[in-house]
A and B are shown apart, each in its own frame.
Chain A
Amino acid sequence: MKRRGSGAHGFAFFLFVAAFFVLRQAEAIEHNVAGSAQLDYHFVPTERDANANAGTFSTFDGFTVEAAMKLSVDVSPHLSGNVKVCFGCHGFEADMFYFDLRAVDELNLRIGRFSPSFGSFNLRHDPANHKFSDKPLPYDMGRMLRKNIWGNGVLPAPFPDNGAEIDGTHFFGDAAQMDYAAYAVMGFRNDQPNPTDLNFQEAHVPNYFVDNNARPAVGARLALTLRASAATDATVGVSGMFGTYDPNNDLTYAIAGADLAVRVQRTNFRAEVLARRTQFDTSNPAIFKYALSPADGDFFMKDGAYIEAEQPIVRDLDFLARIDGMLRMGNVLATTPLSDKSSVVRESLGLAYAVERNFRLKTSGELWQFSDRDPETGRRLEVGIHLGAVATF
Chain B
Amino acid sequence: MSKFIHLALALAAAGIFFGGCSAISPKVGPEQDASTGCASSSSSSPYGGYPSSTAAGDAGACAPVQDPRCAADAGYEEGDCDRCEDTSCCAQRFTCYDDPACFNADEDLDTCVEDAKASDAGDEDAARAACWSTFTDLPGPLAKNLRDCEAQHCKDVCEVP
Contacts and interface: CB of A to CB of B under 8 A. Distances in A.
B26 A299 contact: yes
Contact of B107 (A2, A53, A190): A2
A148 B142 contact: no
A297 B8 contact: no
A287 B82 contact: no
A1 B81 contact: yes
Given A2-B106, A56-B139, A291-B32, A326 B9 contact: yes
Contacts of A161: none
Nearest to A190: B100
B18 to A, nearest CB: 7
A277 interface: yes
Contacts of A329: 25-26
Contacts of B22: 295-296
A299 B145 CA distance: 29
Q: Is the interface of B mostly helix, strand, loop or mixed?
A: helix
A210 B141 CA distance: 31
B138 to A, nearest CB: 8
Interface centre among B13, B29, B39, B108 (most CB of A within 10 A): B13
A293 B13 contact: no
Contacts of B94: 193-194, 287
B30 A290 contact: yes
Interface in B55-72: 55, 65, 67-69
B32 to A, nearest CB: 5
Contact of A327 (B2, B6, B37, B65): B6
A6 B28 contact: no
A362 to B, nearest CB: 24
Contacts of A290: 28-32, 45
Nearest to A367: B2
A291 B97 contact: no
Given A1-B82, A289-B32, A325-B9, A206 B111 contact: yes
A345 B10 CA distance: 12
Given A193-B97, A284-B69, A325 B32 contact: no
A274 interface: yes
B110 A196 contact: no
Nearest to B79: A1
A369 B98 CA distance: 27
B46 to A, nearest CB: 10
Contacts of A201: 100-101, 104
B115 A148 contact: no
B114 interface: yes
B145 to A, nearest CB: 11
Contact of B26 (A1, A199, A202, A296): A296
Contact of B17 (A207, A275, A304): A275
Nearest to A206: B111
Contacts of A1: 79, 81-82, 85, 106, 109-110, 113, 158
A293 B5 contact: no
Interface in B130-161: 138-142, 158
Nearest to B105: A201
Given A4-B110, A275-B18, A299-B26, A286 B55 contact: yes
Contact of B28 (A274, A325, A331): A331
B125 interface: no
A340 interface: yes
Contact of B95 (A151, A292, A335, A343): A335
A294 interface: yes
A287 B93 CA distance: 12
Contacts of A300: 26
Interface string A203-226: 000110000000000000000000
A256 interface: yes
A192 B16 contact: no
Interface of A: 1-7, 53-58, 148, 151, 190, 192-194, 196-197, 199, 201-202, 206-207, 256, 258, 273-275, 277, 283-297, 299-301, 303-305, 323, 325-327, 329-331, 333-335, 340, 343, 345, 369, 371
Given A289-B34, A292-B29, 12 more contacts: A58-B139, A193-B76, A197-B100, A258-B17, A273-B13, A292-B53, A293-B27, A304-B9, A305-B8, A325-B9, A327-B6, A345-B6
- Report the 4 A-B pairs with minimum CB-CB distance, sorted nearest first: A291-B29, A303-B13, A330-B26, A291-B52
